[in-house]
Amino acid sequence: MTTIREVAKKAGVSVATVSRVINQNGYVKDSTFEKVQEAIKELNYRPSAIAVSLNNKKTKTIGLILPDITNPFFPELAKAVEEVANNYGYTMILCNSSGTVKNEIDQIELLQSKYVDGIILASDSFVEKDYKDVNLPMVLLDRGANPKNSSIRVNNFYGGVLATEHLLEQGCIKIAHLAGPKHVFTGQQRLEGYRSVVESMKWFDEKLVAYANYQLDDAITATKELLNKNKGIDGIFAGNDLMAIGCIKAIHSFGLSVPEDIAVIGFDGISLTNMIIPELSTIKQPIYEMGKEATNQIIKEIEGNHKESRDIEFDVTLIQRESTNRKRRPGLEDGATFKDNGNR
């Protein structure tokens, strides 16, 4: 690798001048500028990002910590972060925390010692007391608010309301909720949304709430149990899309069908939802937007002099698809399956 001193020698100037040419600051005579540029080109010189970082204490790198990149919610987020970061000349280090607080803390330590300029923490545990000595910009995604850090999230409570009311509108008269883990912020909020709608209804019963860990397999087990313990369930609001898919699989395993026997709605709006059959109704979060905004915010905090932290709440939207479509279109027999009649 060529160094700035070699360039200086070749161009017959000092390293200071070369540095000025590279950063286009300070006074440099036109003819000198040319000479240096030429030397740079000839030697195929690129300044060492490390040496630069050692001076200005910026690495142009941000860390993204998330529970598990294989959870379909996160790739879209990661993509947004990476793209926006790249646009601003930053690169992104990705860390899977597996959702445990210990890993999260380790990852934060590691990122700090690698001198990332900021961290986006998209993990979901509640704990925050342990991050006390993180003194670099950090934005929180999908977590409880915190006076010190900016946070990005959606109105999970309202989403829960929306999902539940949608099932009611579709004529469901006994609606269960498959909630996310108890210690997870988003899961709690969505559950509260559901509860606020149904708790006054006469059919409501605490047994209609089950918990699972936001994963498919766990959701299948939990749904089977739910259906065994309760008679007459005709709608399920699942805490996320992955679990909604688990619901559907469990329902099918009982010989029932979706949405005819039981309508199912998820939460998140991952792209998976329109890949499965039946296509899944869901409460959509603007995932890409959230990642984009988180990245904008972290970069603003890194580069801005004033570090005003902000709380940004995005809206969720109901996406209605087949899995909750119980009001059949006129002209179709009840129970018939929809078909696009292609052009064959």
C-alpha dist (Å) from residue 112 to 105, 108, 135, 136: 10, 6, 9, 8
Q: How far is the CB of 216 from a second copy (least distance, A)?
A: 6
CB under 8 Å to 145, separation ≥6 — which residues? 151, 311
Q: Going residue by residue from 51 to 90, which x/- string records binding to DNA, judged by CB under 7 A?
A: xx-xxxx---------------------------------
Residue 105, binding choice from DNA, a second copy, none, Cβ under 5 to 8 Å by partner class:
none
When asked if residue 41 is in the footprint of DNA (CB under 7 A), the reply is no
When asked if residue 3 is in the footprint of a second copy (CB under 8 A), the reply is no
**b/e string for 160-196 if b means 16 or more Cβ within 10 A?**
bbbbbbbbeebebebbbbbbbbeebbbbbbbbbbbbe
Q: How far is the CB of 24 from DNA (least distance, A)?
A: 10
- In whole angstroms, give the CA distance from residue 212 to residue 232: 21
When asked if residue 133 is in the footprint of a second copy (CB under 8 A), the reply is yes
Taking each helix axis as running N to C, give the angle between helix 73-87 and helix 287-303, from 0 to 180 degrees, rounded to the nearest 10: 40
Candidate list 2, 19, 37, 112; residue touching a second copy; CB under 8 A:
112
- In whole angstroms, give the CA distance from residue 238 to residue 221: 13
Q: Helices (H), strands (E): how many in the chain? A: 11, 12
Q: How far is the CB of 249 from a second copy (least distance, A)?
A: 7
Candidate list 59, 188, 189, 240; residue touching a second copy; CB under 8 A:
59
When asked if residue 66 is in the footprint of a second copy (CB under 8 A), the reply is no
When asked if residue 119 is in the footprint of a second copy (CB under 8 A), the reply is no
State which residue, 23 or 91, has the beta carbon closest to a second copy. 91
Contact set for a second copy, span 262-281 (CB under 8 A)? 271-272, 275-277
Q: From its phi and psi, is residue 258 left (phi > 0), alpha (psi between -120 and 50) or beta? A: beta
Contacts with DNA by CB under 7 A lie at 1-5, 12-20, 22-23, 25-32, 45, 47-48, 50-52, 54-57
